[in-house]
Amino acid sequence: MDLKLKNKKVLVLASSRGIGKEVANKYAEEGASVIITGRNEDVLKKTANEINQKMAGEVTPYVTDVTKKKDINRLFGFVREHFGILDVLVSNAGGPPIIDFEMSDEADWYDAFELTLMSSVRSIQRAIPLMKENGQGRIVYIASSSIKEPISELLLSNIFRSGVQALCKSLAKDYAKDHILINVVGPGKIKTDRLISIDQKNAEKHHVELETWQDNIQKSIPIGRYGTPDEFADATVFLGSYRNTYITGQTMLIDGGMVNAY
Ligand SMILES: NC(=O)c1ccc[n+]([C@@H]2O[C@H](COP(=O)([O-])OP(=O)(O)OC[C@H]3O[C@@H](n4cnc5c(N)ncnc54)[C@H](OP(=O)(O)O)[C@@H]3O)[C@@H](O)[C@H]2O)c1
């Protein structure tokens, strides 16, 4: 299937590792030019080199902390300078921490507001004018299964990601006339560094081996295993491509059937 991404201009936020990295890798495979971002410059450059060595596309690293407004402004200045316009924005960020509601501090809430909600608000707000100039665009927000079924220890994710989902639904209606399609994808359990570190903490908390903990979780997923970043990226890149011409304002979970909600 031709995803119609050859020579298209793509920005993937938080993409030096994990899901974001694999999504960037797939866009490059399709022949797009991709800007990748992350906070750790060494890891980011290593990822760009790794992808550039095997792909036809061109991957450019740009150090950005998505929680900082000035970093987002600098990044979009670079996008304009480097690309001129923008075809695709994949809005991603690190996950907010686990908190205990009664013990939580107001700072926890403001930090998650910046990390999870405002990083998307700011990046989408800056991407849309570049897409309007381009005459078309695609936006995909990487959320979590928490937007359909709350995850008890991830209160901050449940709350702020739902806000971004509502933003995407609202904007999808407003910008369809500009040929900008906006969708949300929610990972269930995709095997990345973050997933393994959450599993490790839970295994320690429950005094079991990491392998035992992971086996039990995988048994509870109808497909019987964690998803791979590659499986996640296939669906994400389709929605964020010009092959997608009629899906907008939707949320799709990539979760192996884990969540009960429709
Ligand atoms: N994996 C799953 O099963 C799963 C499930 C539900 C939701 N999610 C969500 O999906 C997103 C990606 O997850 P993942 O598993 O790929 O995580 P990951 O393996 O920890 O990768 C996170 C990426 O985001 C970057 N990042 C983190 N904070 C950032 C910041 N403030 N500014 C810029 N870049 C930042 C990291 O690079 P630096 O550290 O160098 O900045 C890294 O490239 C997260 O929001 C996570 O909560 C994942």
Dist. CA 184–CA 138, nearest whole Å:
11
106-141 in b/e form (b: 16+ CB < 10 A) is eebeeebbbbbbbbbebbbebbbebbbebeebbbbb
Q: Are 218 and 176 in contact (CB under 8 A)?
A: no
- From CA 251, how far away is CA 145, in angstroms rounded? 10
Ligand 1 contact via 190 beta carbon (within 6 Å): yes
- Under 8 Å between Cβ of 115 and 66: yes
Mutate to test the pocket of ligand 1, among 22, 25, 37, 39 (most ligand atoms within 8 A of CB): 39
Per the CB < 8 A criterion, the answer to whether 35 and 10 are in contact is: yes
Tell how far the Cα of 178 is from the centroid of ligand 1, in angstroms.
30
| Ligand 1 centroid, distance to 65 Cα (angstroms) | 12
Q: How far is ligand 1, taken at its centre, from the CA of residue 222, in Å?
A: 25
Helix axes 119-134, 69-83, angle to 10 degrees: 20
Q: What is the pLDDT of residue 153?
A: 82
First-to-last C-alpha distance (Å) of the chain: 28
Domain borders along the chain are 9-190+228-254, 191-226
Nearest atom of ligand 1 to the alpha carbon of 193: 19
Q: Which CATH superfamily is domain 9-190+228-254 in?
A: NAD(P)-binding Rossmann-like Domain (3.40.50.720)
CB 185 within 8 A of CB 239: yes
Tell me, in angstroms, the distance from the centre of ligand 1 to residue 176's CA.
Answer: 29
Ligand 1: which of 45, 192, 198, 253 to mutate, judged by most atoms within 8 Å of the beta carbon? 192
Tell me the CA–centroid distance for residue 93 and ligand 1, in Å: 5
Residue with tokens 């369809």: 176
What pLDDT, on a 0 to 100 scale, did the predictor assign at position 246?
Answer: 98
Write out the chain's pLDDT in tens, 262 residues: 999 999 999 999 999 999 999 999 999 999 999 999 999 999 999 999 999 998 766 999 999 999 999 999 999 999 999 999 999 999 999 999 999 999 999 999 999 999 999 999 999 999 999 999 999 999 999 999 999 999 988 999 999 999 999 999 999 999 999 999 999 999 999 999 999 998 998 999 999 999 999 999 999 999 999 999 999 999 999 999 999 999 999 999 999 999 999 9
Atom number, ligand 1, closest to the C-alpha of residue 93:
45
Is the CB of 17 within 6 Å of ligand 1? yes
Is the full-model pTM beyond 0.85?
yes
Q: Tokens 């979590």 map to which residue?
A: 144
Q: Does ligand 1 come within 6 angstroms of the Cβ of 116?
A: no
Q: How far is the CA of 86 from the centre of ligand 1 (A)?
A: 23
What's the chain look like in SS3? CCCCCCCCEEEECCCCCHHHHHHHHHHHHCCCEEEEEECCHHHHHHHHHHHHHHCCCEEEEEECCCCCHHHHHHHHHHHHHHHCCCCEEEECCCCCCCCCCCCCCHHHHHHHHHHHHHHHHHHHHHHHHHHHHHCCEEEEEECCHHHCCCCCCCHHHHHHHHHHHHHHHHHHHHHHHHCEEEEEEEECCECCHHHHHHHHHHHHHCCCCHHHHHHHHHHCCCCCCCECHHHHHHHHHHHCCCCCCCCCCCEEEECCCCCCCC
The first and second tokens of residue 115, run together, are: 């990390």
Ligand 1 pocket, 65 CB below 6 A?
A: yes
> Which pLDDT score, from 0 to 100, does residue 57 have?
65
Ligand 1 atom index nearest CA of 43: 40
Which atom of ligand 1 is the closest one to the Cα of 227?
3
Please work out whether the CB of residue 14 comes within 6 Å of at least one atom of ligand 1: yes
Closest CA to 34 of 13, 9, 14, 51: 9
How far away, in angstroms, is 177 Cα from ligand 1 center?
32
